[in-house]
């Protein structure tokens, strides 16, 4: 693929997609100890394009033997110290070089995510900007973090040092393949760890391309490795390994719970979890511009086909404006129909795979059966691709499955409320606590409600606002970790206390 030509139109992206060659140049094998290799067992799995149903490539399917190999190399690299003991400023240079290489290859990386999981290419390009910014931010942070000198008397000098953990296994989902990878891998590498990445079996391709770029950037052998494969095989093996010091996970709450058990059953490794959500988006009647709010409320759920951990999937609207507001949301949703992911004008793309497609349609059916009022969408589009239009249900209650469970698709559940008290109670009535939004002009109310929301992040008069400076993560069953910002570096380092007695 030419790096000089920047694709802009639908035809440009189609041409680029047609020029991809997995058998020549683009890797589909595992990346272990600085080399692309077949899985030890020789197994492969097919990765499909959900927009067309076509097989893109056969990818190495790693298992326990591959995990054991990679963990051995990761540990050896860590002990050798070529990366773990390298001065932070030098690690920074290598990571900045990697970010530059990602920038130079961003169209190809975006295309891989689009083809692999169906997201619109314009959205994938946004992910690339986020992933590159994350590498740059974490690289820039690492040589600006100081340790501490404790306030002792003259008889001692007491130091609090920050040291890398050792071997970090990053297990990531498919909805933002490269961006979720960056949020885990960039701080873990910056802090000096050896990192083993297990991408989702539904979107392994960009992670393998990243491995090639990491090698080109000068990350030493064994320090960054990529093991494609399934959760119950290679993922489980990494999670149970006695030589992995930390599991950094993004994915479903069910898998997160499983990983904590694996850690308890093995070596008590640290487990950082970024899990699911059912995020409330609260609209008060005092908003000045309800048209604008409705557009944002629709985008909050329909962006990335609703396959977003922080999707604003529960819309809580004050009853005095509810009917009129839903009309505006439905009108906005009309303009967000799914289309070919390679068309930069498409707002939504295809659902990642058949399992997820059936799951989403199953919830839509359940919503109808439970008596919610369908206001938009509700029927899948004609194949061959897996496309579901924006779907809006009104009259949802907290007892309904579509009101409680994470659907992870383009389905919006609308609730009504009459008072601030009721809105807060509805918002907090969830096992999840990843994100929450509120829209109001009343500053007192904004502060009152913000403090009372059980949520890792609150968006006021916006949805999904944030940049690299802000931690990202949840409370309750949405997890315990924080990606992004300098706080994420804390997760990938140990504090070592050193008490030095000063002989008078």
* Footprint of ligand NAD (CB under 6 A): 171-175, 180, 198, 200-201, 230-232, 235-236, 239, 250-252, 255, 258, 274-277, 309, 406, 408, 434, 474, 478-479
Place of tokens 């909050």: 300
379 noted as active-site residue: no
Please, are residues 466 and 488 in contact by the beta-carbon 8 Å criterion?
no
- Whichever of 277 and 377 has its CB closer to ligand NAD, that residue is 277
At its nearest, how many Å lie between ligand NAD and the CB of residue 496? Answer: 29
Please, are residues 20 and 1 in contact by the beta-carbon 8 Å criterion?
yes
At its nearest, how many Å lie between ligand NAD and the CB of residue 293? Answer: 24
The length of the chain, given as a count of residues: 504
Place of tokens 């393949």: 177
Measured CA to CA, the distance from residue 350 to residue 327 in angstroms comes to 25
At its nearest, how many Å lie between ligand NAD and the CB of residue 132? Answer: 18
- Whichever of 158 and 431 has its CB closer to ligand NAD, that residue is 431
Please, are residues 404 and 398 in contact by the beta-carbon 8 Å criterion?
yes
Please, are residues 173 and 122 in contact by the beta-carbon 8 Å criterion?
no
Measured CA to CA, the distance from residue 230 to residue 198 in angstroms comes to 9
At its nearest, how many Å lie between ligand NAD and the CB of residue 182? Answer: 12
At its nearest, how many Å lie between ligand NAD and the CB of residue 373? Answer: 26
Measured CA to CA, the distance from residue 301 to residue 287 in angstroms comes to 20
- Whichever of 267 and 289 has its CB closer to ligand NAD, that residue is 267
Please, are residues 472 and 275 in contact by the beta-carbon 8 Å criterion?
no
Angle at 376 between CA 375 and CA 381, to 5 degrees: 150
Please, are residues 481 and 457 in contact by the beta-carbon 8 Å criterion?
no
Angle, helices 88-104 vs 177-190, to 10°: value is: 160
Catalytic residue among 108, 274, 307, 491: 274
At its nearest, how many Å lie between ligand NAD and the CB of residue 406? Answer: 6
At its nearest, how many Å lie between ligand NAD and the CB of residue 432? Answer: 9
- Whichever of 234 and 321 has its CB closer to ligand NAD, that residue is 234
382 noted as active-site residue: no
At its nearest, how many Å lie between ligand NAD and the CB of residue 418? Answer: 30
Catalytic residue among 134, 309, 406, 420: 309
Angstrom distances, CA of residue 472 to CA of 43, 184, 469, 486, 498: 36, 12, 10, 11, 32
- Whichever of 94 and 197 has its CB closer to ligand NAD, that residue is 197
Please, are residues 190 and 493 in contact by the beta-carbon 8 Å criterion?
no
- Whichever of 70 and 423 has its CB closer to ligand NAD, that residue is 70
Q: How many CA atoms lie less than 13 Å away from 369 in the CB half-sphere?
A: 8
Please, are residues 318 and 297 in contact by the beta-carbon 8 Å criterion?
no
Greatest CA separation for the chain = 84
Count of CB atoms situated within 10 Å of the CB of 147: 12
Measured CA to CA, the distance from residue 308 to residue 290 in angstroms comes to 24
Please, are residues 484 and 468 in contact by the beta-carbon 8 Å criterion?
yes
Measured CA to CA, the distance from residue 138 to residue 191 in angstroms comes to 9
In the complex, residue closest to ligand NAD by CB? 231
- Whichever of 137 and 174 has its CB closer to ligand NAD, that residue is 174
Strands 411-417 vs 391-394: parallel, antiparallel or unpaired? parallel
- Whichever of 343 and 405 has its CB closer to ligand NAD, that residue is 405
Catalytic residues: 274, 309
């Amino acid at each position: 693929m030419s790096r000089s030509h920047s694709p802009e139109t639908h035809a440009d992206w189609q041409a680029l997609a047609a020029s991809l060659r997995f058998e020549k140049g683009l890797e589909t094998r595992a990346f272990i100890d600085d080399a692309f290799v077949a899985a030890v067992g020789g197994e492969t799995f097919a990765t499909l394009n959900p927009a067309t149903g076509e097989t893109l490539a056969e990818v190495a399917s790693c298992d326990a033997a591959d995990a054991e190999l990679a963990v051995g190399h990761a540990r050896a690299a860590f002990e050798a110290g070529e990366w773990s003991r390298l001065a932070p400023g030098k690690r920074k240079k290598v990571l900045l070089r990697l970010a530059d290489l990602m920038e130079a290859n961003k169209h190809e990386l975006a295309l891989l995510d689009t083809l692999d999981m169906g997201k619109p290419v314009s959205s994938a390009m946004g992910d690339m900007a986020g992933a590159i910014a994350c590498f740059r931010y974490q690289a820039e942070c690492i040589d600006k973090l100081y340790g501490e000198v404790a306030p002792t008397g003259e008889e001692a000098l007491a130091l609090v040092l920050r040291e890398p953990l050792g071997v970090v296994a990053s297990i990531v989902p498919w909805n933002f393949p490269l961006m979720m990878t960056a949020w885990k891998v960039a701080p873990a590498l910056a802090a000096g760890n050896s990192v083993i990445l297990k991408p989702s079996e539904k979107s392994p391709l960009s992670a393998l391309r990243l491995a090639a770029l990491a090698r080109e950037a000068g990350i030493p052998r064994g320090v960054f490795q990529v093991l494609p494969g399934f959760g119950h095989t290679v993922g489980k093996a990494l999670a149970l390994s006695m030589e992995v010091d930390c599991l950094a996970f993004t994915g479903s709450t069910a898998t997160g719970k499983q990983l904590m058990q694996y850690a308890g059953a093995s070596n008590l490794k640290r487990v950082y979890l970024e899990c699911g959500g059912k995020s409330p988006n609260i609209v008060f009647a005092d908003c000045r511009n309800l048209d604008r709010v409705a557009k944002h409320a629709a985008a909050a759920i329909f962006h990335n086909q609703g396959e977003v951990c922080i999707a604003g999937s529960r819309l809580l609207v004050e009853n005095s404006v509810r009917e009129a507001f839903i009309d505006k949301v439905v009108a906005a949703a009309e303009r967000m129909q799914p289309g070919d992911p390679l068309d930069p004008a498409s707002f939504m793309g295809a659902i990642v795979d058949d399992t997820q497609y059936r799951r989403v349609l199953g919830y839509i059916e359940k919503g109808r059966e439970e008596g919610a009022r369908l206001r938009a969408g509700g029927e899948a589009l004609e194949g061959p691709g897996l496309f579901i239009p924006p779907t809006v249900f009104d009259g949802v209650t907290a007892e309904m499955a579509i009101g409680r469970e994470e659907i992870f698709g383009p389905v919006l559940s609308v609730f009504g409320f009459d008072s601030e008290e009721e809105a807060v109670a509805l918002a907090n009535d969830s096992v999840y606590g990843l994100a929450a939004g509120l829209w109001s002009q009343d500053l007192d109310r904004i502060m009152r409600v913000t403090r009372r929301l059980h949520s890792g992040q609150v968006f006021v008069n916006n949805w999904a606002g944030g940049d690299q400076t802000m931690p990202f993560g949840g409370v309750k069953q949405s997890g315990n970790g924080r990606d992004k910002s300098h706080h994420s570096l804390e997760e990938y380092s140990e504090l070592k206390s050193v008490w030095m007695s000063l002989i008078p």
